[in-house]
Structure 1
Amino acid sequence: MTAGPRRRGPARTVLVALPLAVFATVGVLAPILAPADPTANDLAASLLPPSAEHLLGTDQLGRDQLSRIIHGARISLAVTAAVLAISVTVGVVAGTTAGYAGGFVDRIVSRVIDMAVSLPGMLVALAVIGVRGPGVENLVIAMSLWAWAPYARIARARVTGLRASPHLDALRLLGAGPVRIICRHLLPPALAPCLVYASTDVGAIVLGVATLSFLGLGIPPPQAEWGQMLVEGRPHLASAWWLAYPPGLAITAVVFASNLLGERLAVGDERPSILRWVLPGRLRVRGGRALAARVTGVPATIATTSAGDGTLLRVRNLSVAYPRGSEHRRVVADVSYDVPRGKILAIVGESGSGKTTSALASFGLLDPSAVVTGSAMWEAGAAARQLVGLTPRERRQINGRRVGVVFQDSLAALNPLRSVGAHVDEAVRNAGNPGQRTAIRRVSEDLLHLAGLPDPATVTRQFPHQLSGGMRQRVQIAIAIAGEPELLVADEPTSALDVTVQARLLDLLARLRDELGMAMIIVSHDLAVVTRLADNVAVMYAGRIVESGPLDAVIGNPDHPYTRGLLDAVPRPGTVPGTRFRTMPGRTGAGPDDTTGCAFAPRCPDVVPECAHQQPRLLALTSLPAHRSACPRQQSDGPALAAETARDPDGV
């Protein structure tokens, strides 16, 4: 029952905009449609009434009125288009820049906007034309001087509300500069309400041009302009009605249609379709290829990656510090781990343990103020490459192409102002895949289907807030695998999702690992996630790795008391109802800068005197060299540990 009115909405909008479309078409085709020269005088045919030869009669100089009306539409709407183009461009750019910059820049631009809005527009136009004289160029300049201010105010208000949004913070963390953020992420949403206002402004500008021409300050004769035609026909109103009514009706129709169109766009759903016409997209590439087979296939270039072929990422002594006053406070210290090809490393720990920082630091995905030291060697290809210290340009060759990232907060990671299809399309293009727009969209739909979304064509037209948390995570996965990465970093991929959605998402990640041959780093506080996915585990506490090794060893035979505490907190099937879960007393204390002893000692049930003054190191256990622990209790009595340390000074 509700479908009928929704279908009639666009039809009504088209009907309202019809006069504007007709006059615009007539103006463009004026040289073809006009039956006579609008400036040719014929005094013998002066003031002839409408007839078959002259459908709207002639004026006092014998000029054909219909031809002058047609050419008047061309001139009036051309001036209007020029004024709108200048006003919208200047207003949107100024307002967007001021809204994003804030502070001093925002205050200065706001005061200029307030002054421009407060001045009577027609008075400003009269002053400019009085100084420069009449003419088309001067008329455009005069009207643009007061017409830009409302657009700047609208754009500034729109961008000010977006300045502190999470997705802009994410863009800054990813290294996007102010120019890129403004041009690609703020101008389109700022332009949308301005285009709605511009539809109303068409009538105001046409009326202003006619008014100035009526006062003799607009388009100079003998050019045909509607306001000028009213001036010339005024002395003959009593005897020749056809001189005033046609141009007057034309002005009224344009003004009335523009106001109605503005109202329709302001309250209706037609704005997105208008934006699709005005902003058709910047994609103009050649050729096309799909990087994912529809429904059942797997990207061929991804599938050829062989699992188990050595180490892909080798991290050694990674430390991260943030400025605090005149000093730096370390949040991660001396973290080392390996990610083999086709394997999954899980970094686990409670909130604040540094697991996310350890996973993202190698790829420059932390706050720009972060100081990252240590080594992160990317060993894919013929030669190893150091990731720490790369320039933003060099990092873009890695991030999004060879490394894909799924962030924890999908709503903050996705731009709420862009559709899902636009997100995935951009990822496909940035990965260096050429293709026409339709081909790119087909690839995007393939990726969304590969990520487990059942109706990709519909999802591409939706916005992030219209999707559930699990669907947004799948969208992030589709974006991450668009570049055919060799490594996927997933930061808390199942956080805040219900159990059923978590299981499906974990199954998807496992399938991607098996079918696409990608290595993965999974960051999680949930050991249930670890047991379903990981090949190797690194347990973090207070910014350091306290235990690491193969999954079976760490989960089946945990050595560090903190690891045992995490396992005891996991619910187990078959537990007697009412059984209290074991918890660790206290909370995370000293950070990695405290080297006086074990950071876990205040909460440890097995604390020994050495824990208070001995900084534990991650050393291999005698039972399994790949299984390492940083527990002073174990390290205080075990000669085999020293031998293992001597063989592997990195302690990985």
Structure 2
Amino acid sequence: MTGPRKYWAGRAWIGTVLLALPLILFVCVGVLAPVLAPADPTANDLGAGLLPPSSQHPLGTDQLGRDQLSRILYGARISLTVTAAVLAVALLLGTVIGTTAGYLGGRVDRAVSRVIDVVVSLPGMLVTLAVIGVRGPGVENLILALSLWSWAPYARIARARVADLRKSPHLDALRLLGAGRLRILGRHLLPPALAPCLVYASTDVGTIVLGVATLSFLGLGIAPPHAEWGQMLVEGRAFMESAWWLAYPPGIAITAVVFAGNLLGERLAAGEERPSVLRLVRPTRTGSAWPTRRKAEPSDGSRVTEPTPLSGPQATTGRSEDAPVLQVRDLTVSYPQDGERRRVVAGMSYEVRRGEVLALVGETGSGKTTAALAPFGLLDPYAVVTGSAVLGSRAGTREMVGLTPAERRSINGSTVGVVFQDSGAVLNPLRTIGAHVDEAVRNAGRGGRRSVTRSATEELLRLAGLPDPATVAREFPHQLSGGMRQRAQLAMALACEPELLIADEPTSALDVTVQAQLLDLLARLREELSMSMVVVSHDLGVVTRLADRVAVVYAGRIVETGPLAAVLNEPDHPYTQGLLDAVPRPGTAPGTRFRTMPGQGGSGPDDTAGCGFASRCSLATAACADGAPPLETLAGTFAHRSACLRHPSVTEVATVKGDSSC
């Protein structure tokens, strides 16, 4: 932080401290009351009753001869201790309940929300009087009564904060790394939920102090002879004209604390000070630094193999080295809409072999990201996923569709890594880059003492192409550029030595230089770590630099797939040709207009009974509206397939030639 920023940050801190000064002062004098008080606050001296302020008694004495200054100091001790206890109970209880309800959602969230609404709608003092009326006065009952109506606002604030974070890519990344619910709640949701609750707590200080004083004034709070500001007001009420020093000092003390709390809360709510969040890092197990797998040759994208038969959702212990890392068959994803379910992906099938890069290409909204993330449970909770997605790993194969969250947590964090499109949403702004990668290392079972974990973290950051990993590990996400945040995401994904990496628009919103660097890095990691990839992109420039095979997605279906060279050099489907025509080419004459496809992109496979692209296709015929064309192998090829009715398939050509062996 330099010059002007440091200057204004310093002024903000000074202003905040000045606003909180009365509150800080009374806290200090309350703690030091036994040392600062000139006399025993409960000692009676009837011969010295109602003495005015003097050098011996700076604030005079009351009707029983007790020193008023000593009672004010001890009153701060008692009033603020009760306030702190109520705040601690209400803040902890409300934040935990609100965070849990916001994260779990569904019936739990709705039930907790109704309870919060009921508690907030009740008059707080009425609830307090009812509790004390049943249980009787006393310090413990006073804390209980005030806590019963103070927790609800904290729960509402925490629930609203967590509900916004529940669907964030940050939590998706944590779930894929294998983090459990308690870890997510404790480390990643409670801190951001606690920040606005602390702001509200600063304003609640004055409310609780006033509530304690009011109850004591009514004879239901702190009982005599203990010194408490509200009780002192009661005792001084009868001497307002003859002994003003009995009522004014405790009244001024209450007013100062209430105003200080309210002003401090407004200052914090305005964002001039961000609450810091402290966390403890607990080592889990010893381990070594980042190990790399031996280099392996990528698979040949032109080779065609038959799909591996599936035997069911149970895991198997053995696997073939030639088996796909991911084999998806008839994947369908639907969401509720207008009382029915509409599909966004329909019957999609694809597979990724070891060392291979598959690119899912298409316009925004085509369903490519949904098709890539659906097998791993990273979609909205309302999504219904059917079909089959078999994940092959070093430990065996496992059917991913239909797994419970607990079963999926046993797989996540060990085989698959994900790089999401929006790195700013994935990374927690309250935690450093090193803390993010540290957690990924520990979830992968490679953690140990903090120094060992941090050593592995720095090695991962170096592997991801970040210069000076030690410095980057200490920085927060907002201090890094977009490209550096994407590399930090990549370091997190590499912590579990993934056999499969899902990259969702990895170069989106990056300038061309950073895009090229990131693509080169992915290609190098693919070669060095023998890692398969599924790259989701709308940019065919990304595809040409990285992919072995391409699957073109339109309106929730694959319309063309095959080796990279075949799809780019000899595109068959009109949609693929349209995507290629829209790519700028070097050497094009200035002023040349690029070809664009007419109409709007298809929003889903349920929008039409036939070919989804028919309404935008210049080659469409009446047959295109009868049904969705199947994905068939093109004549004269082995791996190039297209879903278009304007060409004969391999089978049809073989039948014409009388060759039944094709």
Q: Do structure 1's residue 281 and structure 2's residue 279 form an aligned pair?
A: yes
Aligned equivalents of 1:44, 1:387: Cα separation in 2: 86
Question: Which amino acid counterpart does residue 355 of structure 1 have in structure 2?
Answer: K
Secondary structure at the counterpart of residue 510 of structure 1: helix
Note the 1:482-521 alignment, pairs <5 A: 482-521=495-534
Structure 1 residue 7: deviation in Å?
1.1
Aligned-residue sequence identity (percent) comes to 62
Aligned residue among 349, 364, 375 for 1:335: 349
Q: Does 1:523 align with 2:526?
A: no
Contact 2:120 2:149 in 1 (8 A): no
1:635 equivalent to 2:647? Answer no
CA contact (8 A) 1:98 1:105 kept: no
Deviations 1:191-226 (A, max 9, x none): 433322322332343343234334433211233334
**Residues 405-444 of structure 1: pairs in structure 2 closer than 5 A:** 405-410=418-423, 413=426, 424=437, 426-434=439-447
Give 1:530 deviation, angstroms.
1.4
- Alpha-carbon offset, residue 571 of structure 1: 2.5
Q: CA deviation at 1:523?
A: 1.8
Match of 1:319 among 327, 331, 335: 331
Structure 2 equivalent of residue 296 of structure 1: none
Give, in whole Å, the separation in 2 of the partners of 1:642 and 1:392: 53
After alignment, is 528-537 or 392-401 more displaced? 392-401
* CA deviations over 1:54-102 (Å, ceiling 9, x no partner): 9988777676766655543332222111222334345556777599779
**Counterpart pick for 2:417 among 392, 396, 404:** 404
8 Å contact from structure 2 (residues 175, 409) kept in 1 = no
Please show how residues 198-213 of structure 1 align to structure 2 within 5 Å: 198-213=201-216
- For residues 28-427 of structure 1, what are the structure 2 equivalents within 5 Å? 28=31, 39=42, 68-89=71-92, 92=95, 97=101, 108-109=114-115, 112=118, 115-116=121-122, 119=123, 125=128, 128-130=131-133, 132-148=135-151, 151=154, 162=164, 188-229=191-232, 250-251=253-254, 253-267=256-270, 269-273=272-276, 276=277, 280-281=278-279, 283-286=281-284, 299-300=290-291, 302-304=292-294, 306-308=296-298, 310-315=322-327, 317-322=329-334, 329=343, 331-333=345-347, 335-340=349-354, 342-351=355-364, 353-368=366-381, 370-410=383-423, 413=426, 424=437, 426-427=439-440
User: CA separation of 1:381/1:643 partners in 2, compared to 1, >3 Å: closer, same or farther?
Assistant: farther
Q: 1:233 to 1:444 in 2, by over 3 A?
A: farther
Kept after mapping to 1: 8 A contact 2:326/2:351: yes
CA separation of 1:568 and 1:151: change in aligned 2, threshold 3 A: closer
Q: Is the 8 A contact 1:98 1:156 kept in 2?
A: yes
Against the structure 1 CA distance between its residues 61 and 503, is the aligned structure 2 distance closer, same or farther, given a 3 Å change threshold? same
What residue identity is the alignment partner of 1:217?
L
| 1:574 partner amino acid | G
**1:645–1:551 distance in 2 versus 1, CA, 3 Å:** farther
SS, match of residue 139 in structure 1: helix
How many residues are matched? Answer: 627
Which amino acid is 2:359 matched to? A
Task: Classify 1:401/1:237 alpha carbon distance in 2 versus 1 (closer, same or farther; 3 Å).
Answer: same
**Residues 22 and 436 of structure 1: CA distance in aligned 2, closer, same or farther (over 3 Å):** farther
Any idea what SS the aligned residue of 1:322 has? Answer: strand
Partners of 2:621 and 2:371 in 1: CA distance: 29
**Shift of residue 488 of structure 1?**
0.8
Residue in structure 2 matched with residue 575 of structure 1 by the alignment: 588
Aligned equivalents of 1:601, 1:267: Cα separation in 2: 54
Query: How far off its partner does 1:531 sit?
Result: 1.3
In structure 1, C-alpha distance between the alignment counterparts of 2:18 and 2:86, rounded to whole Å: 25
Local SS of the residue matching 1:331 = strand
CA contact under 8 A between 1:598 and 1:613: conserved in structure 2? Answer: yes
Aligned counterpart, 1:7: 10
Q: What displacement does 1:378 show? A: 2.7
Q: For the residues of structure 2 that align with 1:98 and 1:357, how far apart are their CA atoms?
A: 24
Matched residue SS, 2:396: coil
How far did 1:532 drift?
A: 0.6
- C-alpha separation between the residues in 2 aligned to 1:477 and 1:559? 35
- Tell me by how many angstroms 1:468 deviates: 6.1
SS of aligned partner of 1:265: helix
What is the TM-score with the length of structure 1 in the denominator?
Answer: 0.74
- Partners in 1 of 2:541 and 2:333 — Cα distance? 30
2:23 aligns with 20
Offset, 1:485: 1.8
Please give the TM-score of this superposition, normalised by the length of structure 2: 0.73
User: Aligned AA for 1:318?
Assistant: D
Q: Which runs of 5+ in 1 are unaligned?
A: 292-298, 648-652
Letter in 2 for 1:143: L
Distance 1:431 1:190 in 2: 27
Question: Is the contact between residue 319 and residue 330 of structure 1 (CA under 8 Å) also seen in structure 2?
Answer: no
Q: Give the drift of 1:551.
A: 3.0
User: What is the match of residue 533 of structure 1?
Assistant: 546
Pair 1:24–1:282, CA change in 2 (3 A): same
1:480 match? 493
After TM superposition, the structure 1 stretch with the greater mean CA deviation from structure 2, 536-545 or 508-517, is 536-545
User: Is the contact made by 1:549 and 1:626 (CA closer than 8 Å) also made in structure 2?
Assistant: yes
